[in-house]
Chain A
Amino acid sequence: MELLLEVFLFSIPLIILSWALPKRFVLLSQIIITGAFILYKSPISFLILTFISFGNFYLLHKSNLKNSIKIGISLVVLILLIASAKLLFSIHDHWIIPLGMSYYIFRNIHYTIEYYKGKILNESILFYLAYNFFLPVLIIGPINRYHEFVKDWQRRRFNSEYFSAGLQRILYGVSKVMIVGNYLLTAKGAVFISDIDDSHAWLKAYLETIESVLNAYFQFAGYSDIAIGISLFLGYRIMDNFNYPFLASNMQEFWSKYHMSLSAFCRDYIYTPIASFYRKPLLGIIATMIIIGLWHEISFSFLIWGALQAIGIILSSFFKASSDSFIRKNLGRIFVLNYFSLSSVVIHYDELAQALHVYKVLFFLN
């Protein structure tokens, strides 16, 4: 909540300056304000991001090394950075961990690989810094793409429709977080569930499972909406992060609609290379989903969670070809919600034993 208010507070001068300044100073103002924000919230993250931005740019574009060596160094450093951060800091002690690191490391991996593919068209340190120091998406994504960012910058103009769309997006985003997430699901829903008599242990456990997954979704989707809305105010259209995932009728579809910027990233940069290297799509799916899991936190729980997502996707490929009737579709939706919720139990508890206990209740194994 406090963080959100601070993002809004920094966004106001960001937006005003981005339209008041002459065009050639706008990116610079974005970089400086965003830089100030990170420095204020998390100096260590500021140092890391600055190091990565300049280091990667100079390594890729200015050094005289062989291309394969450049890419190798870049990827190894980025992956080591994120892995060590994830291993050193746990997800529960927030303000020590480098703010937004999971997102900006992935953005830079994306840049390096696109560079390797020869697809970086507009190379400029200014663009690169602006891409890395872009406040709206810094903390909670989406993991937007470089070429989209530059494209939006190049064609940027004052557009009142962006403002109304942005305003609506922010209002909806805040509503998802505040009304649905905090009030309905957490305050009211959780109270309602805990009021249920203990004799209905199964119902209680089940509702808790669903509630926590929906809460996570609405919170995350809400923050993404806010990020996209603020970006619209600045004149950028940032990719969507959610596309009604719980209307998906199988797990493969679900993962193409849930945290889309991450799943698209993993499809392009993990699934495709692995699946094509080993010529085994299954292996690609398993590796991808486990990495998505570990991206959240390097722990045994998330490893299992990732593997469960992979199983869900593989299962869905067996049912994909059959008919698309109304009943099947809705049965599929019920399955998706339940499968995702049940598989997520494993990550809701700090101790695996607790999760195991809940599973026992849910599957009548007591």
Chain B
Amino acid sequence: MYRFLIAHFPNRIANIIIALWYLFLLILNLYSSISVEPQGAFRYVGW
């Protein structure tokens, strides 16, 4: 994705977009972890 952005936008804008995207994911992750009960450990884990 970063490569695509660099190719189509000026460097600075590409960097800002990517930073925002990461931030967005981070917030969403935090939100998910708060709002969802921790799932029973995943089947593959430990196997």
Contacts and interface: CB of A to CB of B under 8 A. Distances in A.
Do A and B touch each other in the complex, judged by CB within 8 A?
Answer: yes
Interface residues of B, number: 19
Interface residues of A, number: 32
A94 B32 contact: no
B46 A100 contact: yes
A36 interface: no
Contact of A182 (B26, B32, B43, B44): B32
B25 A175 contact: yes
A182 B47 contact: no
Contact of B36 (A91, A101, A183, A216): A183
Given A97-B47, A178-B29, A171 B22 contact: yes
Contacts, number: 72
Q: Tell which of A95, A101, A172, A178 has the most Cβ of chain B within 10 Å.
A: A178
Interface string B3-47: 000000000000000000010011011011101101101111111
A324 interface: no
A178 B42 contact: no
A171 B25 contact: yes
Nearest to B25: A175
Interface in A154-181: 168, 171-172, 174-175, 178-179, 181
A186 B35 CA distance: 12
A102 B38 CA distance: 24
A219 interface: yes
A337 interface: no
Interface of B: 22, 25-26, 28-29, 31-33, 35-36, 38-39, 41-47
Interface of A: 1-3, 91, 94-95, 97, 99-103, 139-140, 168, 171-172, 174-175, 178-179, 181-183, 186-187, 216, 219-220, 223, 296-297
24 contacts: A1-B38, A1-B39, A2-B38, A91-B47, A139-B45, A140-B44, A168-B22, A171-B25, A171-B26, A171-B29, A175-B29, A178-B28, A178-B29, A178-B32, A179-B29, A179-B32, A182-B32, A183-B28, A183-B36, A186-B39, A187-B32, A220-B42, A296-B43, A296-B47
